[in-house]
Structure 1
């Protein structure tokens, strides 16, 4: 996958001479690695220095990794510069989202944002940087923005021209190529009581398959499988997804294996606003990973860039010293654990198209410029009322140069419940990346075998 600078420049030249409709011209693409980071963020800091310049991200040896794959916190010695509460929020209003302010107002005695110094910790492997550079001059939108052509590895539009391109950057951001993990999800009642749901998750990007043919890549972007291992009433249920690049031309393929019925069935509801299994109605299918799936039901407007306090470098929230009961509290997760920093984000507003159906009439996404990860996402109902607020707590895996979304939350402002997923604090396994798999592991037949109790 690695490409020399000479080959990259030759690719730009070939794109121009062949008349391809590149996302940006070569003169714009040349900013990558100079005034822009290799994946498209502004290298420079902000005017007052509260956001520093990007200097390559965290070093691979920024901390230690224990036997269970938990990273030490490179910033453990830092203290909050200040804490934003319901009482003092007005003085920080220009750097808060509507969702953050709504949570402060709904939980004035317990919800708060502890704000720390900003660290631009994201680092990306060299071969991925080169793939992004190629994408900048070659990747094109298809089907009104619902698909990609000539896409390589990650981040098709490092210099985006519209909201759809920014959303595609989130959908295809670099996540290590392929991954396996065990994690825990909780959907507490209003009083904070919860039953942990344990998952075994695996996903593989197409170019990580043993049988991948680069000459005939097909329309699948990645394969996803998720097995529930506890509690007993859900154990053995499995979800399988084939995520397509062009989901309008070929909708996502999904199946569910129900262990109680010992039956595999197609599951077209695992898309858009269909309820996601084991979430107690607190999350739609496209809420997972902050946002996933097809973009075609919304008009995505690029509002611009803004400086916002977002969750960042949340190594404390990943700590093996914590129990799940230390994190899950009534109304929201424990506010003494998350870390917030000031970062530049892309703001994209999605408005439901006329005639399209979805329980969310509008969504506003705040996407970290350094990783293309959605950090915050506000959801509005058909009346224009702010309904649900999502937070994504990124903790980069510095030793592997992977920007990683660990814990994510989705708060319901109306019923007072929430869902928190991605917790690994009590798990005793390693996160595994970069493994090779066969497409045979992601078939309905394999789904049945994986779900045997």
Structure 2
């Protein structure tokens, strides 16, 4: 066999490997041994970056820091860094010098709104940590957890990070969207502002409650023991035409074996009907068609319609420590403006993120042909996303604004910002500034009886 043929075969073999699905491999003993040493106990790089713009992880705070006067759950979040000022502000005029640390979605927003979009960049902070039991479960999952049924199910222990050493796109997806460590219960009334290109605002309001009992401090469940993953119930309060509509459902640990079950209460007929196949690119209720069901918190539900791959890690300016954005001192009239939210109330920090990419599988349909998510290495939460249309053009770009919830010892999803780059509209989702209460978390008062068709019927009467 000639050298040329040998070389061709090597090239073809390499190409085949590049496009083959990644084989699942548990973390090695050497990898697991790094947890809590050069890596944090959940797998982030403890060290800062080369130029010091990302600091070393300190993890010095668990719960409420001594200098913070937080009155307890149900109150609006209190800023842990009240004296911080922006280090600099990125604008359309100077964005070129920061380009390698900007996402494609951020660049598109600068291009779309060159006169008004800007990014105030603050000192990067890595001061909060997760409870010790999260570290213990994470170590166990690193050695034992596995995906099953083509990546649509998982065998693992709850209460920790799933794959701190993700070997495939599906492992990273499960770790960052389906198996995150978040508050185990959540109750709130929030406002949604769907802002048209001309600045007109269509307002919505939703009463929500969510339960993921497996994340309670005393819960260490196996995903194979038959219990549910999580529950949700959303009741529409505004607009008036949809008032009283209720959507509720339950999630499981294996999307193939037990798909999401959901129901809808119609106040006009006073009947509860099952909603088969609820998810994917169905329009999320009350969003004006601006986001899909599986776009809430950037991605949720079964991964079955996409091929997932890890692109790598980057240093990016991402929304972080978003306390001010949820402050009752900031009124909606000041916050909501045409094109995008008032940038003065945003906080961006430089952090290392995992980049996860999804390509629509052949033979499957979805509004989005390609999706890109940026995942914070410290929290394993999706912070930003980009969604592409059928022609491959960047269509929508999104940002989640998290803050550390002192009462829950973890990060809480706050305002989601979903920008349509083609129409010039955006959705500010889960605003609480002008609500009497903020997020009510981890009270222990919710149970599975507060969800499902009977709960929807009771709530609607």
Q: Given the alignment of the two structures, is residue 320 of structure 1 paired with residue 328 of structure 2, yes or no? A: yes
CA distance in 1, matches of 2:61, 2:200: 37
CA distance in 2, matches of 1:97, 1:207: 34
Aligned partner of 2:418 among 389, 410, 431: 410
1:182 alignment counterpart: 189
Cα shift readout 1:190-209 (whole Å, capped 9, x = no counterpart)? 22222332211111124379
2:150 alignment counterpart: 144
Q: Given the alignment of the two structures, is residue 396 of structure 1 paired with residue 404 of structure 2, yes or no? A: yes
Q: Given the alignment of the two structures, is residue 64 of structure 1 paired with residue 76 of structure 2, yes or no? A: no
5 Å-filtered alignment, 1:249-328, equals 249-328=257-336
DSSP-derived class of the 1:195 partner: strand
TM-score by length of 2: 0.89
Cα shift readout 1:376-405 (whole Å, capped 9, x = no counterpart)? 101111111000000111111135321112
1:49 alignment counterpart: 52
Q: Which is further off, 261-270 or 91-100?
A: 261-270
**Do the aligned residues in 2 keep the contact of 1:311 with 1:391 (CA within 8 Å)?**
yes
Aligned partner of 1:372 among 373, 380, 385: 380
2:122 alignment counterpart: 116
Q: Which is further off, 141-150 or 126-135?
A: 126-135
Q: Given the alignment of the two structures, is residue 96 of structure 1 paired with residue 102 of structure 2, yes or no? A: yes
CA distance in 2, matches of 1:253, 1:424: 28
1:18 alignment counterpart: none
2:136 alignment counterpart: 130
**Do the aligned residues in 1 keep the contact of 2:141 with 2:163 (CA within 8 Å)?**
yes
DSSP-derived class of the 1:295 partner: coil
DSSP-derived class of the 2:52 partner: coil
**Do the aligned residues in 2 keep the contact of 1:121 with 1:396 (CA within 8 Å)?**
no
TM-score by length of 1: 0.90
1:5 alignment counterpart: none
Report deviation, 1:214.
5.3
Q: Given the alignment of the two structures, is residue 31 of structure 1 paired with residue 39 of structure 2, yes or no? A: no
CA distance in 2, matches of 1:36, 1:415: 43
Report deviation, 1:436.
4.7
2:367 alignment counterpart: 359
CA distance in 2, matches of 1:89, 1:308: 13
Aligned partner of 2:353 among 336, 345, 349: 345
Q: Given the alignment of the two structures, is residue 86 of structure 1 paired with residue 95 of structure 2, yes or no? A: no
Q: Given the alignment of the two structures, is residue 424 of structure 1 paired with residue 432 of structure 2, yes or no? A: yes
1:442 alignment counterpart: 451
Report deviation, 1:309.
0.4
Report deviation, 1:213.
11
1:77 alignment counterpart: 83
CA distance in 2, matches of 1:266, 1:38: 42
CA distance in 2, matches of 1:265, 1:44: 52
Across the aligned residues of Structure 1 and Structure 2, the Cα RMSD in angstroms comes to 2.0
2:13 alignment counterpart: none
- Structure 1 residue runs of 5 or longer lacking an equivalent are 1-20
Report deviation, 1:290.
1.4
1:242 alignment counterpart: 250
Report deviation, 1:245.
1.7
- Structure 2 residue runs of 5 or longer lacking an equivalent are 1-23
CA distance in 2, matches of 1:358, 1:390: 18
